[in-house]
């Protein structure tokens, strides 16, 4: 069983790399951001709390995050392991996680702030089917329209310059110390994320000693 955490500033490609890593290793990708977005889209009570935080460009509170993560992991559908994306974000969450689960490695995606801004501010979301786009590398066939359902694309509430600035600040103030905590445990694997996605994936697998990427048909 393999259990990994993937960390990095917003826009560093955590979701993309997690999906690729899970594809042929039978791992489960657990995205905390996706879990929150599901609650927002389905207008749950938790979703209302998340929406308020997103609009303010703030991180969701520790108790709420821990509850969602614990509930997801308690489903135990990860027979061969998991890659968790978007957690932990601060020292308290890291302590909770290490006390509850043994992890095999922490993948840290490194990306300069100027590239983070370029990537994040180019992201678009389809509110109809949930498809993600990036105007840099994954443009829709019809400008401003989803290729799948034709719905007009929108910018996520947390992808504004103001919200991004707040998240970058939170990352350096709260999440960076978590990396140092994991580094002391000697489980950190630093991978530069500014190259093509396939190169980043190759770097991740090389540093973890995993088989080369082999997408299923």
**Which of these is catalytic: 2, 72, 89, 124?**
89
The answer to whether 95 and 87 have CB atoms below 8 angstroms apart is: no
Question: How far apart are the C-alpha atoms of 125 and 133, rounded to whole Å?
Answer: 6
Distance separating alpha carbons of residues 214 and 56, to the nearest angstrom: 40
55 is catalytic: no
- The SS3 of residue 189 is strand
Catalytic residue among 14, 37, 72, 124: 14
Q: Is there a cis peptide before residue 184, judged by omega within 30 degrees of 0?
A: no
DSSP code at position 153: P
Catalytic residue among 3, 139, 156, 205: 156
Active-site residue identified among 37, 119, 124, 167: 167
What's the count of helices (H) and strands (E) in the chain, helices before strands? 9, 7
Catalytic residue flag (residue 89):
yes
205 catalytic, yes or no?
no
Catalytic residue among 2, 72, 123, 124: 123
In the chain the first and final C-alpha atoms are separated, in Å, by 24
- Catalytic sites, residue numbers: 14, 89, 123, 156, 167
């Amino acid at each position: 069983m393999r259990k990994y955490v993937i960390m990095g500033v917003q826009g560093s490609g955590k979701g993309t790399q997690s999906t690729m890593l899970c594809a042929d290793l039978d791992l489960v990708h657990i995205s905390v951001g996706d879990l929150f977005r599901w609650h927002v889209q389905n207008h749950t009570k938790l979703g209302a709390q998340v929406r308020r935080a997103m609009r303010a460009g703030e991180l969701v509170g520790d108790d709420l995050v821990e509850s969602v993560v614990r509930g997801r992991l308690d489903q135990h559908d990860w027979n061969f392991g998991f890659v968790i994306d978007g957690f932990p974000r601060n020292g308290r969450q890291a302590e909770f996680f290490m006390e509850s689960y043994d992890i095999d490695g922490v993948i840290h995606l490194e990306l300069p702030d100027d590239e983070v801004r370029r990537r994040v501010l180019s992201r678009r979301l389809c509110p109809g089917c949930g498809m993600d786009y990036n105007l840099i590398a994954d443009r829709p066939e019809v400008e401003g329209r989803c290729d799948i359902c034709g719905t007009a694309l929108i910018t996520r509430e947390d992808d504004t310059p103001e919200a991004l600035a707040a998240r970058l600040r939170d990352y350096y103030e709260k999440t960076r110390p978590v990396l140092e905590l994991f580094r002391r445990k000697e489980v950190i694997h630093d991978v530069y994320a500014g190259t093509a996605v396939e190169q980043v994936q190759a770097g991740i697998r090389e540093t973890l000693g995993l088989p080369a990427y082999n997408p299923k048909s």
